[in-house]
Amino acid sequence: MGHYKSNLRDIEFNLFEVLGRDKVYGTGPFEEMDVETAKSVLAELTRLSENELAESFVDADRNPPVFDPETSTAPVPASFKKSYQAFMDSEYWRLGLPEEIGGTTSPRSLIWAYAELILGANPAVWMYSSGPAFAGILFEEGNEVQKHIASVAVEKQWGS
């Protein structure tokens, strides 16, 4: 276990008791993302955040990428690569992306909630993995060529 301990109960309290999002989850465009499914997503992201994602926080913080002008690279520590890959392998980054490019329709409040978990555990994982989210915006706002680029970015899991 790394440095991070989430407060899943607080997140669920805010989503379902304070904000009343339980009235939206499982209905309309979010029919497949009901309250129980959302809670299971958050529970698994809590586990992932407290373990695989948090494991590399200190190493990556103490050994940040340094740009090498000779090779035009800025390598990250192997421990960070492992954390990043664990998140990408989980495929939770697909939540909220347009279905046409491989996403899963999800309420934005769920994305905000799981962002808190990842940002608390390892903010760099969130930033590096935001490429598909940017591609989702490009897909929704772009022309046909840009929509194609967005689908390629998601398919290839381009980072940012």
Question: How far is 50 from 71, CA to CA, in rounded Å?
Answer: 34
Measured distance CA(50)–CA(44) in Å, rounded: 10
Q: What is the pLDDT of residues 95-124, one digit of tens each?
A: 999 999 999 999 999 999 999 999 999 999
8 A C-beta contact, residue 69 and residue 42: no
Computed over its alpha carbons, how large is the radius of gyration of the chain? Answer: 17
In contact, 8 and 43? CB cutoff 8 Å: yes
Q: How many residues does the chain have?
A: 160
Q: What is the DSSP letter of 13?
A: I
Q: Cβ(92)–Cβ(114) under 8 Å?
A: yes
Helix (H) or strand (E) holding 40: helix 35-48
All domains in the chain, ordered by first residue:
8-64+76-124 (1.10.540)
**pLDDT computed for residue 145 by the predictor:** 98
Query: Is pLDDT above 70 for 34?
Result: yes
- Residue type for position 92: Y
Residue range 74-86: mean pLDDT, rounded: 96
Judge contact between 136 and 106, C-beta under 8 A.
no
pLDDT mean over 75-103: 97
Across the chain, where does the E strand assignment appear?
A: none
Q: How many CA atoms lie within 13 A of 79 on its CB side?
A: 16
Number of H helices, E strands in the chain: 8, 0
The pLDDT score that the predictor gives to residue 1 is 55
